[in-house]
Every structure is written in C-alpha cells, then in structure tokens.
Structure 1
C-alpha cells in the first residue's frame, strides 16, 4: 500500500509504520509517534541558528549527561517542530539550565513536576505561538511541539522514562508539553518580559517548574477584592502546601485583567493583596496534618512527627494565623487566553524552600 503525498510523490505506508515502530521500540518517543529524522533534515534546523552544534545547553551532573545544540535540534525535529522553532527551543533549554534545584533532581521528582514555558515578544507572531484561546489545549503546532521538544530531550538525552529515571508518582498532562504565549496585545499592564527588564522588541522565553494548573470560574463579580480572594482560596488550598511557603503564577484572561486595571489595580497591587490575604488558620492545617515543618526539609508535617519543628508563624504576634507566601513576588502574573469568559488559571509553581523572590528563569531568544 502507498500513500500519495503530492501529485508526484508516493510513500510506502508500511515503511512509515516500520520507521515509527523502530523509534518506539528504542524508547525514543513520549508515547506518541515522532517524525523520523535524517541528517539532511537535521541540517535545516541547525542552519537557523549561529550556535556551535556541540555547545552544551544543559547538564544534569548526577546523571553525567548533557544536551547540546545538536541534540536539542534533533529532538525538536522528532517532536514535529519546524526548523524556525529551534531558537525558541534553545532558549527554553537555557532557561531550564537556570533552574537551581539541588542536583537538578527536580526533573526526576516524584511530585510529577514539568517544564512550563511562557513566550513573550515578536516571536509569538513570527511562528504563530497561541496566546488567545485554548492556550493550555491543542491546535497550534508551535505550542505543541516546542514543549514536546523539551520533553523528548529529557527522555532521549537524560533517560527520564516513566518507570525508570522519571519517578513521578502520577505526573500531569504538562509532562507532554506546556507552552503558551502572553496575550500582550490585550493586557492592560506591561508584559511579563517588560516587567522583568527586557525590551519591547525582545523575544523572551521564561521557564517555570509546575505541578498543576487549576482553572478559576469567576464570571459573577465586578469587585476586584472578591475576584482576588477567589484566587487566594485556590492558592492556599491545603493540598498545594508542600513546603512552609508556596508560590504561584496567575494566568489572567483579558477580561479579569481589565477588571483589575479599570479599578486602578496594578500587578503589584494584586500581588500585595494576595500576599496579605494568603493565610490559613493553624486549625485548618492541623486538620490535614500540616501544622508543623520538618527540621530537615522544611516540608509540612504533623506537630507530633519526630522530625517536626515550629514554623515561622509560631514566633509572630499571630501564631494561629499562618502566612503561606514568603513575599509578594511569589505571585507572578501574566495575561493570556481569550476575552470570551471569566476563566483564569492558578498555576502551581514548584520552587525552592523558601522560594526565591523571583521563581522563574527568563532567556532572550536569539538565532
């Protein structure tokens, strides 16, 4: 059997299936079919950047493995990227390399963490990165394949296969791919990239480490405080409280961002409000066995645990009210999605304990 792919070329479907099965049998996939890659096709990717193919982008020392520009390009091709996506893929890897968790073991974590990339600047339009609807879903080749290129690199270069070096207990769907663009055009505020020192004509890739994405249905109010408290309730859910403090990325739809801005709120105003209100009664934490901390890890555990110690709130004037954010900057904010309904998202960002003031890593995208 053959399949006609143009008016002059036919491809043997059995050969296609044989190639796909070969990649699968060698565990070079994420469970979905990949694009077979030849040296000539790989060369098209490498031609889009002025980087040495042997340049190392990211190393996991305890695995004694590194990804180079060539390997990043190879996995981008496997993932179904177009060659012109490679500068974004490289910037994504350079952002991964800035992730400071000890020994980079976060990529093998039992908690199921995954890379989540936010893209700013002109490159969004140049390669059609979706920022305006179904942003966490399907439908855009660049969003789907750029994130997949990183995942395939983690599998093929670092050996992070499920039931092997990837020790995620359950994982989450973003372990396939998670890439969105910021909807800068419909944001009432400076973009994430501008906010953090980049220029308007810079294309920027920012990598987060995430565990989950929770959607907030909020079409009921025009009072900014009520909407902000809806976000606080999700940020402070006890199931999200792993360490003494938590961090979050708010992905606001234009409708919600405009509501805050029309009420005179800046991003800093929203951060400050969430910081001040992100508290729980110690009784709430005790009911789920999270009222104390581990001496060794500062992870939450019951007060009667042999490794327990008091948390920071215990030494304040209000020991029964536990603050769950260490600083307002543990709330980062971008605008993305369509303006057709009040549905925003709280993205659970996995950070150091205590979190850094800025729990992300940004990289300028360059050829």
Structure 2
C-alpha cells in the first residue's frame, strides 16, 4: 500500500436532507365531498399545456368529483420565504387535495417548493412536470423534501391537444393513487429515484475516498484519479481541478478575515443550501485562485445574494448565461485582474480562475449540475468563467466604482448574462455611425431583452471609446441613444420568444424598447485596439445588475488588498 494523500474537503458542504411528512391522503368519498385546488404557475397558459388540467378535471368528473378552485400566479421572483407564504395563502382554501402545474422549464424548482410547502401544511399534492423540468423537480424534491408525488408527462411546445390528453391518460392511475393512497403505497409513489448525491456529504466536511500516492515519479502523479473521482460525483466543471486539501484551504483564507461560517448567499438552487465563506474558499482552491482573490469573491457572492438578482431561479434557468463578474477599482489591478487585450478569453489566469470559482460554487453547493439538475438547453462557455476588470488607463468616462462610490473604492458588478456578442465596425468614421452599429446589436428577436427589458453592458474597445469621446459623446449620451433607438416592432415580439415580463408602463407601447431607462445601459472601455466591440445581453428575468463594494468584515470599504491580510 502506498502513502496516503491528505483527505480532501467536500466542495458541496454539509446538506441538511429534510424528510418531510407527507399529508394524509383522503378517500375517494372525501375527495367527492371536498374541494380540489388547482394551482397553475402560469406555464399552462402557453401552447396546449392547459389540456393537462382539462383532462384531469374530466377524469375527476367521471368519479363524481366536481368541486374545485383554481389559482394562477407566477413563482418568478419569489424566494423561499415568499413561496412558503404563497402556499400558506393557498391553504386557506382548505382544499382536500391539490394538483400543481407546471414543471417544464425555469419555474420548475420554485414550484417544487410550493408543492413541498402544501404537503407540510397537510394538503396532499401531485406536481405535474415535463422534461427538462422533470429532472430538476426530482433534485429539489430529494434535497429539500426527501420525497414528493411527481408526475411527469412527455409533452413540449408542439404537442397537440390530443397528444397532451393522451399523456395525462397514461398517468391517470398514478395521479389518483397519489391523491388517495397512504402508508407504504404512498411512500412508493412518492419515492424519487435521483441519481446524484445518493450518499449525502459527511458532517465532517471530508470526501469519503482516501487517495494513495502512486509509486511513479511523474509530476502530479495521481491527479488524473482525483479528477475522475470529482467528475463522477458531479463536483467539478469538467476541467482539471486543484485538489482541495485542508492546507490549501487554510492558505486560501490568508486574505479572508471573514469567519468561515459567514453566510454569503441565502438558501437557493436545487439543494436549498446557503453559501458560506468556507464554500467559496474551497471552490477558489479547486479553480486555481490565489488567496488575494478571496475578498473579490466574497463581494461577488454578496452581490449575487441581492434579492434583485433572483439567484434562486438564475442558477437553474434554461438560459445559457453565466454570472458575469466585472470588477472596477484599484484592488482589481492589485490582484492581477485584467481588462486589457483579450481580457474575456484565455491567458489571463486571475480572470479565468476567479470567474471559474463563482460557477463551481453554484454547481457544487446549489447542485445546479448540467444534464442532471439544471435546465440549460445548450449552455455556454460563460458558465465556465465570466470575469474581467475595467482598466483606469483605458477609461474615457467614469468607471462603475466611481459612479457608485469613488476612485479608491473597488466594486464588483454582477449580471446574469449571455456570452459577449461581437460587434464589428472598422469603417465608421464618426461616433454617430459607430453608435448606430452598436445600438443595432443590443438586442435580437432571440434575445431575452426583446421580451424582458433589462440591463446590458456595452464593451467598447479603446479605439472606439476615443472616437466617441472625440465626437463629444458622454456616457449618458451613449446610454440615452441606445435606450431610445434599440427597440422591436410590436408585431415581431408578439406570440414568439417567451412570455414577456415588462413594466406596466410599457402596455400598449409601440415600438417596444429593450431597456427600461438609459441607466440600464452600462458602458465600459476594455480590451485591445481595433474594431471589435462587444455587447453583453442579459437574462433579465426579474434579475438586475448588482454593484457591491469590496469591504472588510466590519463594513469598512477596503482601499487595498493588504487590508485583508490576516
């Protein structure tokens, strides 16, 4: 037997696996004499999905069950406490049982929480789902409830009324049994065969497997075995990681005076777990960060936890966006973050590793794992890493930190956003023509902001920043121009894309803007010289760009990274 490596820290943290008590199921006679609650999270209002409720009601009517009440309200933008409050409001109807729908896409996770809360309030519930939402409802069910009655029907946007009805018919026996069975039969119906994390993380915070040092003298011998193990457990992003030992973790904390148990993010995602400083530090080790990255990472997670970011839904959305981390101020340059040529690509290790650490936390702690417990249809490279900085020497106008605080304060701007979209213009000879090119690229019919106006980031190259400044453009003028002239003709955004979420004041507007105010447009000058600008378009689903200062534990704004050193 070879020499054993030191134990490895578990990047998932400790998961409190709650096993809720399922509500006592009624008899058929009690269903006939009671009231059925139908809760629609608005997803049944699209395509032919409402047939799910219609067909269930037809089956109930055949059994003499005809008394029901229906509620329709979105779960979007609601955190766990708000979802529990909403379930409590539904429970005031005193229903005998509940049918909940529909778990097909981005609202699947939050609607699972509503279902769970109804059960805890003594209301038997069946939650109707469809791929890809089915997988995430199973994950949330396992992590947060232990068991739930989940009924998956195989339908999609092109499924006909007849096909939807046929799918419900296939599952009718399960639906009825889930509403009327108790004891062992109910446990079997509510069992969730989830393939990930079947053995919960240990309370000691260590992974169970001990690795032995290989006999061969190759540099980093044994690293392949460790990486294979992390990938098997879905606790890596697929790229090689630095094994998170206790010694490496302690070194990572050298520039982090925050207590390791400090909560940075409230319970979110499938696991319903909060994010602590320790979770972030372990991810930073795995990502290859240097210890000086920790204060910026702490600020980033504080920003992500802002309710206006909508973290809970953002971590499992079908949208391919990553969590953009844009750092402005002196600490960015102190720790080696770059906004120079190629800053959003390879070759900048601090950018790459810091952004990677953010997404490792989301995968490992929240358990938002692509292909297992996440809704990403295709995903994108922005979900590996998405981090860069503003460069004072390139700035033509006030940087983000100066607009919100001052030049000595370092800020982190976070935005759930698509990968950067290239804007090529080598031929415009004046700022106005250039700005028209840029404005035209600030939305497409396939972009979320065509249906949900929100923040976006314009990344100007130094050449184009100088051109606009030379022609008299201020940042405010650029923002106003894009807000005024980037829009869609209303007929083009009707009944396509996704369900619009717009301010009430946008009702009956034509054309339809993609931003709510000029301030939705952030403008930065980054990169190298040339004619390739970039636009970063938002997820925007009840989600804002958030600015957070890099601060010490007492709230004092840090002026230098050395203030964090223990």
TM-score by length of 1: 0.84
Residues 291-330 of structure 1 mapped to structure 2, 5 A cutoff: 294=499, 298=501, 312=506, 314=508, 319=510, 321-330=511-520
Q: Distance in 2 between matches of 1:200 and 1:257?
A: 20
**1:338 aligned to 528, 531, 534, which one?**
528
Q: Distance in 2 between matches of 1:70 and 1:262?
A: 48
* 1:91 aligns to 2:299 (yes or no): yes
* 1:195 aligns to 2:384 (yes or no): no
* 1:118 aligns to 2:118 (yes or no): no
1:23 shift after superposition? 2.2
1:79 shift after superposition? 0.6
**Is the CA contact (8 Å cut-off) linking 1:101 and 1:352 kept in structure 2?**
no
Q: Which runs of 5+ in 1 are unaligned?
A: 1-9, 300-309
DSSP 3-state at the match of 1:41: helix
DSSP 3-state at the match of 2:230: helix
1:361 shift after superposition? 3.0
Corresponding residue for residue 539 of structure 2:
350
Corresponding residue for residue 285 of structure 2:
77
DSSP 3-state at the match of 1:238: coil
Corresponding residue for residue 77 of structure 2:
none
Q: Higher Cα Rg: structure 1 or 2?
A: 2
* 1:361 aligns to 2:564 (yes or no): no
Deviations 1:224-272 (A, max 9, x none): 1111111111113211145242432101111111111111111001111
**2:226 aligned to 15, 19, 22, which one?**
19
Q: Distance in 2 between matches of 1:12 and 1:346?
A: 42
Deviations 1:121-141 (A, max 9, x none): 122222211211111100011
DSSP 3-state at the match of 1:20: helix
* 1:163 aligns to 2:371 (yes or no): yes
Tell me which protein shows more strand as a share of its residues: 1
Q: Distance in 2 between matches of 1:35 and 1:56?
A: 24
Residues 265-280 of structure 1 mapped to structure 2, 5 A cutoff: 265-280=473-488
Q: Distance in 1 between matches of 2:507 and 2:319?
A: 26
Deviations 1:196-237 (A, max 9, x none): 2x2212222111110231111111112211111111111132
Corresponding residue for residue 3 of structure 1:
none
* 1:184 aligns to 2:378 (yes or no): no
Corresponding residue for residue 306 of structure 1:
none
Q: Distance in 2 between matches of 1:26 and 1:244?
A: 36
Q: Distance in 1 between matches of 2:251 and 2:394?
A: 35
* 1:36 aligns to 2:36 (yes or no): no
Q: Distance in 1 between matches of 2:522 and 2:311?
A: 25
1:33 shift after superposition? 0.8
**Is the CA contact (8 Å cut-off) linking 1:118 and 1:182 kept in structure 2?**
yes
**Is the CA contact (8 Å cut-off) linking 2:268 and 2:366 kept in structure 1?**
no
Corresponding residue for residue 303 of structure 1:
none
DSSP 3-state at the match of 2:376: coil
Q: Distance in 2 between matches of 1:158 and 1:285?
A: 34
Corresponding residue for residue 489 of structure 2:
281
- Give the length in aligned residue pairs: 336
**Is the CA contact (8 Å cut-off) linking 1:107 and 1:113 kept in structure 2?**
no
**Is the CA contact (8 Å cut-off) linking 1:53 and 1:68 kept in structure 2?**
yes
Rate the CA distance shift 1:24–1:231 in 2: closer, same or farther, 3 A: same
DSSP 3-state at the match of 1:129: coil
**Is the CA contact (8 Å cut-off) linking 2:355 and 2:387 kept in structure 1?**
yes
DSSP 3-state at the match of 1:344: strand
DSSP 3-state at the match of 1:19: helix
1:284 shift after superposition? 4.1
Q: Distance in 2 between matches of 1:260 and 1:99?
A: 35
DSSP 3-state at the match of 2:315: helix
> Greater CA deviation, 119-128 or 94-103?
94-103
1:14 shift after superposition? 4.1
Rate the CA distance shift 1:83–1:232 in 2: closer, same or farther, 3 A: same
DSSP 3-state at the match of 1:225: helix
TM-score by length of 2: 0.56
Q: Distance in 2 between matches of 1:188 and 1:38?
A: 44
Q: Distance in 1 between matches of 2:482 and 2:298?
A: 34
Q: Distance in 2 between matches of 1:12 and 1:324?
A: 53
**Is the CA contact (8 Å cut-off) linking 1:75 and 1:153 kept in structure 2?**
yes
**Is the CA contact (8 Å cut-off) linking 2:457 and 2:537 kept in structure 1?**
yes
Rate the CA distance shift 1:73–1:109 in 2: closer, same or farther, 3 A: same
Rate the CA distance shift 1:175–1:31 in 2: closer, same or farther, 3 A: same
* 1:229 aligns to 2:427 (yes or no): no
Rate the CA distance shift 1:322–1:15 in 2: closer, same or farther, 3 A: closer
